[in-house]
Amino acid sequence: MMFELRCTVRDCQHILQRNESGATCEAGHHFDRAKQGYWNLLQPQDRKSKHPGDCDEAVLARHRWLRRGYADGLIETLRHWTNDGEPDQRTLDLGCGEGSFGPALFSNSPQSYCGIDLSKRAIRLAVQNWREATWVLANADRVLPVADASVDRIVSLFGRRPVTEIRRALKPGGDLIVAVPGEEDLIELRERVQQSGHRRSRAEAIVDEMYDVGLECVEQINWAVAVNLQTDAIADAMAMTYRGVRHSQQSRLESIDAMKVTLAADLMLFRG
């Protein structure tokens, strides 16, 4: 089952029909598929800068981090909710980044999976990793390019959470899977580099936010693991999580050869 996309031209919202030259809606709006294999549905109002989305440094740092296997335990935990994907269920991945989570969780259903991100570098990496899936360059904060009540599952793994659009796109009884950093995530590294060990749990606020639009949290998991990080992994952790390190913190970061840190995430399963 091919994943259906919707026109992103303001006030249009017709379904896009794919053809040899790209994709066109019934109003005549046409979108080409990039030679790299993704769909560019960005509109002028989506571009707040010349290079929207995460910077290349953060994208590549996360790519290297995930390739090292630090999220393998997290992925195994999430499989409890995804069942490796089901071919007849559409999955929309918001803020999919460089695309590692998609094939790891939904390898059996590439035709019904769609990853959306605002970073061109991230989407290009995602296509290279899993060409069979649908990848879209778009602003998930504005309007999701799918029809009302057309998606069986929405995933936001450390990505975007446009609450109203999620509720609109999700089928009745559909699932929403959310992962956010836990309050202990990288706490040792933050204390050392930023000289601040501020702990902040996001889970309760997200549960309330989703409940307000009719999505109930049916299960919640606090995932955590201790890992030993070397210098290169420490630098990537800071770059991908905090968008780089301030000059005042750079010397403290460079002085760390290796350290043991906690990786933590709050995982939430919602159902409409």
pLDDT at 241: 73
Burial of 267 (0-12, 13-18, 19+ CB in 10 A): buried
Token representation of residue 19: 């053809």
pTM assigned to the model? 0.90
Q: Is residue 129 part of a domain?
A: yes
The β-bridge relationship of strands 30-31 and 39-40 is unpaired
Residue 24 CB-half CA count within 13 A:
8
* 114 known member of a binding site: no
2 part of a folded domain: no
* Percent helix, strand and coil across the chain, each to the nearest 5: 30, 25, 40
- Report d(CA 244, CA 260) in Å as an integer: 20
Look-up of token digits 């803020």:
95
Q: Is 25 annotated as a binding residue?
A: yes
* 174 annotated to a ligand binding site: no
Cβ atoms 229, 261 nearer than 8 A: yes
Classify burial at 189, counting beta carbons within 10 Å of its beta carbon; exposed 0-12, middle 13-18, buried 19 or more: buried
The pLDDT value given to residue 169? 96
pLDDT at 160: 84
Distances (CA, A) of 147 to 4, 41, 63, 188: 8, 15, 31, 44
Nearest to 118 by CA among 132, 97, 134, 133: 97
Q: Identity (one letter) of the amino acid at 16?
A: L
Instruction: Confirm whether residue 29 is marked as ligand binding.
Output: yes
Whether 137 is in a domain gets the answer yes
Residue 192 domain-assigned? yes
Give the pLDDT of residue 190: 82
Question: In terms of Cα–Cα distance, which of 4, 46, 6, 3 is closest to 26?
Answer: 6
Cα atoms found within 13 Å of the Cα of residue 229, Cβ hemisphere only: 23
Q: Which residues, given as ranges, of the chain have pLDDT below 70?
A: 1, 45-53, 84-87, 194-198, 242-255
Predicted pLDDT at 154 = 97
The CATH code of the domain that includes 115 is 3.40.50.150
Q: Tell me the residue length of the chain.
A: 272
The whole domain housing 141 covers 17-271
Half-sphere exposure of 29 (CA within 13 A, CB side): 18
- The verdict on residue 149 lying in a domain is yes
Q: Is residue 3 part of a domain?
A: no
Residue 212 in domain: yes
Provide the pLDDT for residue 1.
55
- Tokens coding 44: 């002028």
Query: How many domains are contained in the chain?
Result: 1
4 in a structural domain: no
